[in-house]
Chain A
Amino acid sequence: MKRPGRGIACMWYPIGFTVAANPSSAVVKVNEDGTATLLTGTVEVGQGSLTVLGQIAAQELGISADDVHVVSADTDTTPMDTGAIASRTTFVTGNAVRLAAAEAKSILFEVASEMLGVETEELEAADHKIRSKTFPDKQVALAEVAVRAQIVRGRPPLGSASFNPPTVAMDPETGQGKPFATYVYATQIAEVEVDDETGEVEVLRICAAHDSGTTINPALAEGQIEGGIAMGIGMALEEEILFDAEGGQVNPNLTNYLIPTSLDMPKIEVDIVQSYDPVGPFGAKGVGEPTLVPTMPAILNAIYDAVGVRIADLPATAEKILMAIKEKERAEVKQLGSA
């Protein structure tokens, strides 16, 4: 019989580790046509970080993300980055990008200040222009400022910066400190059906609420959360590397190391909970790894809710669940017998 179950799991996850130095650096140059070029050492692996970094530079410079050409991940030409790891790219690299763009912008502001007769503190960059905050009609095209900065003032508008997350060293006496720059939080709820005659689990629905600070690109954040949940479902129910006695992998193919297919994936509902991190770029924190942390415990709790067995050894395969159900039934019969 198929038995329904629901499970919930919550998590927190640290962003911006500080066990060792954790820097990122970036270079931003503003071109004569009002576009910008961003150099970053980080690697895009499908999470959309280059789009987000381009958006951060664009926001700081008041231009559109389409106008930022991102050059990445070339050790010959791009500045150092610790890596696309630890859910750090938006937070750490994003801050480096923002600071580099701000430095280029400050050069543009100095030049625009003379052009407009407005103090630099009174200027803002928006809509491809530099303008007075109080009197927005006092404005000049960013491209015009960039050209003037180069050929009249001899100060090409470019910036370079690095960012290393701020922390407080752990006190060896008290164990207190601030080991990570910030934390993200999430809750996921899994709805499953477990067949108590075969042990098979079908995940019917996952609802995921994630706090990632102020999300810079909600569509990409949602995509990362959905993808993380797919990995979490795989880890919870089917993915396992099996080794033989010599240490060789027994299941090196996608036919025997199974990852979720479109048919295995349930309905996913994502709720992005907005918050603001004072250190993150434009209030953002991170998305990556935390997305799959609550998926497994939520599914395992749902299995417990459905058939009353706790699986503590992943993946929770049909065999393991069926054995646990049988064991539970035997224990119940025994208890009845002794009573």
Chain B
Amino acid sequence: MHHIEVTINGVLRRAEVPPETTLLSALRDSWGLTGSKLGCDVGDCGACTVLVDGLSVNACLLLAVQADGREVVTIEGLSGFEYLHPLQAAFERLSSYQCGFCAPGMIISAKALLDENPAPTELEIREALAGNLCRCTGYTKVVDAITEVCRDHANAVGVEESA
């Protein structure tokens, strides 16, 4: 067993895990954070995408011990009881979710992109989502939602600058 300490959504969490435990099972089983989904478990579908030190990774491919001492952000870290992250709000507003199973990973991938590049082109958005498979939506409304968040952000920045 290994003792690990991971900062998850700003909170330091500890667990004792066998060495083969993935970060995804630690999140879901040790810490009860079931927002990150177990889809393929081999890094193909992206439903388990989380941020580790700001980079989007498949939590099913990272061992929990590799996350020891790092900062992890999951879908649960984006919203609270009173508010939604702008990406979540846009996904909801534009009906970008259908079954919703891919959505936590999609939103984390989109956040990783926007943290890096707040004004991506449509191709850059599609490239950022290429590791997140979706069988319901055809990605159209997902791309629309992310585009809308970028536009709102650009408008807000424009207002700040002109003020």
Find residues 105-163 in chain B having any chain A CB closer than 8 Å to their own CB: 125-127, 129-143
Whole-angstrom distance between the Cβ of B120 and the nearest chain A Cβ = 12
Q: Does B84 contact A (CB under 8 A)?
A: no
What are the residues of chain B within 8 A of A46 when measuring CB–CB?
98-101, 135-136
Residue numbers in B under 8 Å from A268 (CB-CB): 138, 140
**Nearest chain A residue, comparing its CB with the CB of B129:** A262
Q: Are B141 and A223 in contact (CB under 8 A)?
A: yes
Neighbouring B residues of A44 by C-beta, 8 Å:
99
Q: Does any Cβ of B come within 8 Å of A230's Cβ?
A: yes
Which residue in B40, B132, B139 is a CB contact (below 8 Å) of A265? B139
Set of chain A residues within 8 Å of B95, measured between Cβ atoms:
48, 219-220, 222-223
**Contact yes or no, B141 A226, CB < 8 A:** yes
> How far is B40's CA from A52's CA once the two chains are assembled, in angstroms?
30
Bound-complex Cα distance A44 to B136 (A):
12
Sort chain B's interface into a size bin: 20 to 34
Q: Is A338 an interface residue (CB 8 A)?
A: no
Interface residue from A48, A230, A253 paired with B139 (Cβ < 8 Å): A230
B89 at the binding interface (Cβ < 8 Å): no
Q: Which of A246-294 contact B (CB under 8 A)?
A: 253-255, 259-263, 265, 268
How many residues of A sit at the interface, in one of the four size bands? 20 to 34
Known pairs A45-B99, A220-B95; A226 contacts B137 (CB<8 A): yes
Closest to B109 in A: A262
B98 touches A227 (CB 8 A): yes
Cross-chain contact B40 with A262 (CB below 8 angstroms): no
* Residues of B with C-beta under 8 A to A254: 40, 44-45, 133
Instruction: Report chain A residues within 8 Å CB of B131.
Output: 261
Which of chain B's residues have a CB closer than 8 A to the CB of A231?
135
Any A CB within 8 A of the CB of B12: no
Q: How far is the CB of A296 from chain B (nearest CB, A)?
A: 15
Q: Report chain B residues within 8 Å CB of A228.
A: 138
CB-CB under 8 A from B125, the residues of chain A are: 262
Known: A220-B95, A223-B98, A262-B143. A229 touches B136 (CB 8 A): no
Of B40, B95, B138, chain A has the most CB atoms within 10 Å of the CB of B138
B14 CB, nearest partner CB in chain A, Å? 34
Question: Does the CB pair B127–A263 fall under 8 Å?
Answer: yes
Q: Using Cβ atoms and an 8 Å threshold, which residues of chain B touch A259?
A: 133, 135
In the bound complex, what is the Cα–Cα distance between A259 and B94 (angstroms)? 24
**Extra inter-chain contacts (11) besides given A230-B134, A261-B129, A262-B142, CB under 8 Å:** A44-B99, A45-B99, A219-B95, A223-B140, A227-B136, A227-B138, A228-B138, A253-B42, A262-B125, A262-B143, A265-B138
List residues of chain B with CB under 8 Å of any chain A CB.
Answer: 40, 42, 44-45, 94-96, 98-101, 125-127, 129-143
